[in-house]
Amino acid sequence: MWHSATARLSLGFVALAILCLGIADLSITAHAPWHELGRLVQGLVQPDVSAVDHLWVALLRTLAFAFVGVGLGATAGFLLALIFHSRLVRSICAFVRAIHELFWALIFLQFFGLHPLTGVLAIALPYAGVFAKVFAEILEETDPLPEQVLPAGSGRLSTLAFTRLREAWPHLVSYTSYRLECGLRSSAVLGFVGMPTLGFYLESAFAQGHYDTVGALLLLFYALIASLRLWVRPLLVPVYLVVAPFCLGSGLPIVWSNVSRFFSEDIVPSPLRHGEGLSGLVGWLGDIMISEALPGIWHTLVLSQIALVLTGLLALALYPLVSRHFFQGRGWHGRWAVAGRQQAGARVPGNRLTHLLGHGLLVVMRSTPEYLLAFILLQLWGPSMLPAVVALAIHNGGIIAHLVGRRSNEVRLRPDAPHGLVRYAYELTPRLYGPFLALLFYRWEIIMRETAILGILGITTLGFYVDSAIQEIRFDRAMVLILITALLNIGVDVLARHLRARLRLRHTANCEP
Amino acid sequence: MLKRLTLALTVLLAAPIASADTFVFTAIPDEDETRLQQRFQNVADYLEQQLEVDVRFVPVKSYAAAVTAFRNNQVQLAWFGGLSGVQARARVPDSRALAQGVEDAEFMTYFIAHQSTGLETGEGLSDRMRDMTFTFGSKGSTSGRLMPEYYLREAFGQPPEEVFSRVGFSGNHSRTISLVASGAYDLGAVNYTVWENEVEAGNIDTDQVEVVWKTPNYPDYQWTIRGDVDERFGTGFADRVQQALLNMEDAELLESFPRSGFIPASNDDYAIIESVGKELDLID
């Protein structure tokens, strides 16, 4: 096994994570978490929506922002995919997707204010960058032959429509529908910074410890995500897209002079604004680098390395929950044990239930905001990197397990394939390991972006400093730090692509998280 | 699809969104945020009746968002904290503090500790606190960040990160109390009105968490109005707003803040906050 590059790389990553464990502070210090956690659990099992002023409006807004944002992102992404061979386009796309939706929202809030455009662009912009890349890759993988046999002089548009697009269409649709789920999550989370979506009320209720309301909002959100396939139908999507822009709400009017002020004043480094010239600027930048950027980068890297490996382990352990090779069909022999759940001799009806429970668990894992998870774990374990690592791993592990599980359903096994643990260890996991690694590498960059939310744990990641600069209303500093974050993300993205290429991990639709 | 979307978006942008002469106000999210909309709608109704213009309340999610909305002229009046008020007035020429709560002239921060620390009630900032874990509230809060950090630096001669083994930002006062009560953090700094209200409501197990120090008084929350409202809503408008705020006597309305009444305030009342903010490098 040492001869396999994949195995060596995987073990290398694990070793690096273990090394980081030695550096990271993972101590447990909480003393009496049970009172507070008891309140939390009690609230979650006794959900109560009555405290939310306009629940249905919030739900409508969550859907509207997701549809408009993803719709615009997909459209723009598709157009960009057609010219993705241009280095300039590729770089711009890499840049816009390297910045987290929440940071985009915080930037747009500065000049559009609480206007729907802020939320729409915060989703559409980074999504366009992701769509452009994935769509371009999907189109590239289509068979070039039909295009070559067309008569000379065929129009570019009709060539595209009848050759590559026709072949790629199912993949494009499948990927877009997956991104819609992500869009719903993003839309909800934008409520944390003031958009009128579910997250707005979730954050309020959570901040005040009104856990019954938190429970109700979370259940509603889980139901929304879990039922996605029931109400997102090919025929209905155009209807949703047309209606959604009218359901965004009105917000406050945009004052356009704020836009020019933002670019000509707010983000200009303060030494330049105060006429201290180049030497002032150098000192200012050096100060940010030494006191914030470098420690921030270090903590971000250590934290994401551990979280990444834990995410991977969790995803590998949980994907069978949603794989038809384990919890569905007659091949089931009841020898399978996963996540502490011992199933003995369950037959088809029981399997159906297990399958639903598995799906349910993954929906809960991937749809609970990491911030909430981190808070609950902070109550349990006290402030250290531990709650952060576990929160990130639960959230991202849920997403990757879901995608790997889905992918496993495309695998066809021989009728005499082994069952249970043997099937898991010697049949399926080796076959899925390539796509699994590809997914994990895509997620790497995302985990790094998500470390931004952990100020509550007293962990000074890059995102922590970005947030501080924004709270201090110093957008010049915030922009420098956001740029550094984006560069770090692009660096990780390039490295991951390089690793994928070296391991020849083939990309397919649905791979990009 | 693109065409339809562009069209819809154009319609959306062009539509008159709020009438030009609506007077909009906001409040920093510091007290009970739930039902904020409903409670502050009553305040909006009161102001509408007093001022005879359309008044609208918009909720925001952070101190910075309140300052930004004020600066961007999307809101003209705001209930700020000490620090956010200073930040806002520095960015909007001629804006002024109109009124503060009766309690705000002599505001305080409580330092609270979990019982396992062995610290005693009223112990003060002592060397025994070194290497414990500590949480502030929100990064932009006067009572949850600015003033406690100032007094910590004064007492220990070092920044908090060097005094404590870990310094967190819980995000708000209720969460600070909850995190210290569970022992997740050893120590925390909290707005005294929030603490008193929670104790009164029976939400705090005072066997688990206690007040170890009360800071000296400082000025905090205040109503601040933009300088250009007279131009937009008529001469003397700011003065009328001030009068309406000072005349607010309905206990139910005051409950939203929660204050027992409002008294006049001026920008100069907050000079101390400004100088502390500069000292801690939280404002330029």
- A332 neighbors A320 (Cβ within 8 angstroms): no
Cβ neighbours of B73 in A, within 8 Å: 255, 258
**Are residues A425 and A303 part of one domain?**
yes
Contact B166 A383 (CB under 8 A): yes
- A70 neighbors A465 (Cβ within 8 angstroms): no
* Residue A24 is assigned to a structural domain of this protein: no
Among chain A residues, CA nearest to B36: A53
**Are residues A499 and A354 part of one domain?**
yes
Nearest-CA distance from B179 to chain A in Å? 7
**Are residues B94 and B59 part of one domain?**
yes
- More confidently predicted of B16 and A400: A400
**Are residues A447 and A353 part of one domain?**
yes
- More confidently predicted of A158 and B234: B234
pLDDT on residue A513:
44
Which helix (H) or strand (E) is A337 found in, with range? strand A337-338
Query: Across all residues in chain B, what is the average pLDDT?
Result: 90
**Are residues B127 and B198 part of one domain?**
yes
Among chain A residues, CA nearest to B140: A471
Contact A117 B2 (CB under 8 A): no
Contact B5 A245 (CB under 8 A): yes
Residues A456-470: what's their mean pLDDT?
A: 85
Identify any residues that bridge with B279 across adjacent strands, giving them in sequence order.
Answer: none
- More confidently predicted of A6 and A244: A244
pLDDT digits (tens, 9 = 90+) for A178-221: 899 999 999 998 998 889 999 998 888 888 888 888 889 999 99
Has residue A434 got a pLDDT over 90? no
Among chain B residues, CA nearest to A248: B12
pLDDT on residue B19:
54
Contact B8 A245 (CB under 8 A): yes
Position B126 confidence tier, pLDDT thresholds 50, 70, 90: very high
Cβ neighbours of A71 in B, within 8 Å: 1, 5
User: Which domain range does residue B173 map to?
Assistant: 108-214
**How many separate domains does chain B show?**
2
Q: HEC profile for chain B?
A: CHHHHHHHHHHHHHCCCCCCCCEEEEECCCCCCCCHHHHHHHHHHHHHHHHCCCEEECCCCCHHHHHHHHHCCCCCEEEECHHHHHHHHHHCCCCEEEEEEHHHHHECEEEEEEHHHCCCCCCCCCHHHCCCEEEECCCCCHHHHHHHHHHHHHHHCCCHHHHCCEEEECCCHHHHHHHHHCCCCCEEEEEHHHHHHHHHCCCCCCCCEEEEEECCCECCCEEEECCCHHHHHCCCHHHHHHHHHHCCCCHHHHHCCCCCCEEECCHHHHHHHHHHHHHCCCCC
Has residue B251 got a pLDDT over 80? yes
**Are residues B115 and B49 part of one domain?**
no
Residues B213-222: what's their mean pLDDT?
A: 97
Contact A472 B139 (CB under 8 A): yes
Position B31 confidence tier, pLDDT thresholds 50, 70, 90: low
Mutation target among A31, A35, A70, A267 for the B interface, most CBs of B within 10 A: A31
- More confidently predicted of B116 and A353: B116
**Are residues B33 and B170 part of one domain?**
no
**Are residues A144 and A91 part of one domain?**
yes
- More confidently predicted of A469 and A352: A469
Which of A194, A213, A455 is the closest to B60 by Cβ? A194
Q: For helices A348-367 and A294-318, what crossing angle results, to 10°?
A: 170
Position A452 confidence tier, pLDDT thresholds 50, 70, 90: low
**Are residues A73 and A202 part of one domain?**
yes
pLDDT on residue B182:
87
**Are residues B38 and B179 part of one domain?**
no
Cβ neighbours of B167 in A, within 8 Å: 458
Cβ neighbours of A109 in B, within 8 Å: 65, 68
Has residue A341 got a pLDDT over 50? no
Contact A258 B72 (CB under 8 A): yes
Lowest-confidence pick of A284-293, B9-18, B77-86:
B9-18
Residues A129-156: what's their mean pLDDT?
A: 83
Nearest-CA distance from A284 to chain B in Å? 13
pLDDT on residue A344:
39
Q: State the ipTM, two decimals.
A: 0.88
Mutation target among A208, A255, A474 for the B interface, most CBs of B within 10 A: A208
Contact B171 A33 (CB under 8 A): no
Domain boundary among A192, A225, A249: A249
Cβ neighbours of A258 in B, within 8 Å: 72-73
pLDDT on residue B220:
96
* Residue B9 is assigned to a structural domain of this protein: no
State both tokens at A116.
Answer: 């729907």
Contact B74 A203 (CB under 8 A): no
Cβ neighbours of B135 in A, within 8 Å: 383, 458
pLDDT digits (tens, 9 = 90+) for A239-261: 999 999 999 988 888 888 888 89
**Are residues A232 and A170 part of one domain?**
yes
**Are residues A320 and A211 part of one domain?**
no
Nearest-CA distance from B207 to chain A in Å? 12
Q: What is the dihedral sign for C-alpha B225, B227, B231, B236?
A: positive
Of residues A325, A489, A501, the one with CA closest to residue A404: A325
**Are residues B97 and B231 part of one domain?**
yes
Mutation target among B58, B177, B179 for the A interface, most CBs of A within 10 A: B179
* Residue B6 is assigned to a structural domain of this protein: no
Contact B74 A253 (CB under 8 A): yes
**How many separate domains does chain A show?**
2
Q: For helices A475-502 and A101-111, what crossing angle results, to 10°?
A: 150
Whichever domain contains B123, its CATH number is 3.40.190.10
Residues contacting residue A458 through CB under 8 Å, at least 6 positions apart: A383, B133, B135, B166, B167, B168, B169
* Residue B134 is assigned to a structural domain of this protein: yes
Lowest-confidence pick of A321-330, B63-72, B111-120:
A321-330
Position A389 confidence tier, pLDDT thresholds 50, 70, 90: very high
Whichever domain contains A237, its CATH number is 1.10.3720.10
Contact B1 A37 (CB under 8 A): no
Residues A403-418: what's their mean pLDDT?
A: 87
Domain boundary among B185, B214, B243: B214
* Residue B2 is assigned to a structural domain of this protein: no
Burial class (CB in 10 A: 0-12, 13-18, 19+), B262: buried
* Residue A280 is assigned to a structural domain of this protein: no
Contact B205 A37 (CB under 8 A): no
**Are residues B236 and B151 part of one domain?**
no
Map tokens 């960009």 to a residue: A80
Contact B64 A30 (CB under 8 A): no
**Are residues A220 and A319 part of one domain?**
no
Cβ neighbours of A468 in B, within 8 Å: 139
**Are residues B184 and B112 part of one domain?**
yes
pLDDT digits (tens, 9 = 90+) for B151-182: 999 999 999 999 999 999 998 898 899 899 98
Has residue B248 got a pLDDT over 50? yes
Which of A68, A110, A194 is the closest to B61 by Cβ? A194
Has residue B16 got a pLDDT over 60? no
**Are residues B261 and B205 part of one domain?**
no
* Residue A225 is assigned to a structural domain of this protein: yes
Nearest-CA distance from A183 to chain B in Å? 17
Has residue A330 got a pLDDT over 50? no
Contact B87 A473 (CB under 8 A): yes
Domain boundary among A249, A272, A297: A249
**Are residues B229 and B133 part of one domain?**
no
Domain boundary among A195, A220, A249: A249
Per-residue burial over B67-93, b = 16 or more CB atoms within 10 Å of its CB, e = otherwise: bbbbbbbbbbbbbbbbbbbbbbbbebe
Cβ neighbours of B205 in A, within 8 Å: 35
- A219 neighbors A212 (Cβ within 8 angstroms): no
**Are residues A241 and A297 part of one domain?**
no
* Residue A15 is assigned to a structural domain of this protein: no
Position B13 confidence tier, pLDDT thresholds 50, 70, 90: very low
Contact A383 B133 (CB under 8 A): yes
* Residue A391 is assigned to a structural domain of this protein: yes
pLDDT digits (tens, 9 = 90+) for A69-81: 999 999 999 999 9
Has residue A334 got a pLDDT over 70? no
Residues A305-316: what's their mean pLDDT?
A: 96
Which of B58, B116, B168 is the closest to A252 by Cβ? B58
* Residue B8 is assigned to a structural domain of this protein: no
Position B59 confidence tier, pLDDT thresholds 50, 70, 90: confident
Nearest-CA distance from B137 to chain A in Å? 9
Which helix (H) or strand (E) is A338 found in, with range? strand A337-338
**Are residues B195 and B63 part of one domain?**
no
Contact A53 B282 (CB under 8 A): no
Lowest-confidence pick of A344-348, A473-477, B60-64, B102-106:
A344-348
User: Which domain range does residue A486 map to?
Assistant: 286-513
Query: Across all residues in chain A, what is the average pLDDT?
Result: 85
